[in-house]
Amino acid sequence: MNEEIKRNTNRITIPLPDALRNMVKREMNDSDEYKRICCVIEETVAENDENDCYAALLEKIEPYLKDKTRNFVGKLFMFKKRICRDGERCKRGDNCIFLHENEAEGADYKNIEARREVFNNNNNIRKREFETEPNKRIKNDTKFSNKEVILNNLPEDLWDDVIISDYCKEFGSVSEVRMLKPGKYLIKFFDPSSAYKFISSTEKTFGRENIKKFYNKFVRKGKEEILQDLFDEQKCLLQEMQSIVGSEASFVRLRAICIKIRSLVNSEENSDRENKNINFKDNGINKKNSVYFNSFFNPTN
């Protein structure tokens, strides 16, 4: 394998290896059109710089796959870039997009056993610390009650709920994946131990250097912070709806946000205790820029 490709997980190897061509065929439901898609992928990768390749592939493949394009292109970039955590227990067989031991020869993961030994040793160290140090035990008790993890600095080729969910399922069952803002996602696991396993993993997330992961902190926020968060999420939803027609779920969420804004703003305006009021001017929050005030506000209500 070309050394430059081995160093850069953003690259797609061309000509496409047989395993990747088979994945494309499965994604196309065994349609003969997969051969044309493979040609399009190879031509696009060859003609574009690695920094432009993702956007170029989206544009070229969209006529074939429509709304499935982003998920498909994300899988292309993830294909065989990291070790499958299920190992011999993996039930996906040839459908698994992650790397297995029998595929590792000549790839980036030549010493899989050594990597696993380091991972297991780190887990054993954490276990001993947890069992022997009371202060750390209290801290870890808090961690073991948290099922939510934040992923930040995700590159655009990973902005896909399905791709993120499939990756996180390597650590445990996932109940929800949600974009908080471009490049930042919330992942909810079914149990705290899965979230802890994900946080504790020493492997680079998606094999990328700059992606950050941390627990979602449950901090009681003031009204100003809540409103600003709602305005930010509202902005993201509007941007999303500009590119996705008929997104009913987004509209439902937007309506819920407007109701929250109305409740917070009304409680601020009706409060008799001025020291408890939100100072919109000082905090840089312009409430009349919200969809609620522009579209739904009725001063007679």
- CATH 3.30.1280.10 at 148-218, yes or no: no
Does residue 180 carry a pLDDT above 90?
no
Return d(Cα 223, Cα 67) in angstroms, integer: 38
* pLDDT of res. 122: 45
Q: What is the mean pLDDT of the chain?
A: 72
Across 277-295, average pLDDT: 56
Helix (H, G, I), strand (E, B) or coil at 43: helix
Q: Which residue has 């703003």 as its token pair?
A: 265
Task: Indicate the pTM of the whole model.
Answer: 0.37
Across 255-273, average pLDDT: 69
Across 32-36, average pLDDT: 83
Closest CA to 52 of 83, 80, 11: 11
Across 241-267, average pLDDT: 71
Other beta carbons within 10 Å of 265: 21
Condensed to tens digits (0 to 9), the pLDDT of residues 216-236 reads 876 556 677 677 777 777 777
The residues with which 151 forms a beta bridge, in sequence order, are 185, 213
* pLDDT of res. 272: 47
Residue, of 6 and 178, whose pLDDT is higher = 178
Return d(Cα 200, Cα 264) in angstroms, integer: 38
Tokens of 190: 């079914």
Condensed to tens digits (0 to 9), the pLDDT of residues 94-128 reads 778 777 766 654 444 444 454 455 445 544 544 55
Q: Which of 2-16, 72-86, 114-128 has the lowest mean pLDDT?
A: 114-128
Other beta carbons within 10 Å of 62: 15
Across 76-84, average pLDDT: 78
* pLDDT of res. 247: 62
Condensed to tens digits (0 to 9), the pLDDT of residues 124-176 reads 544 554 444 444 443 444 455 788 999 999 988 888 888 999 899 989 889 89
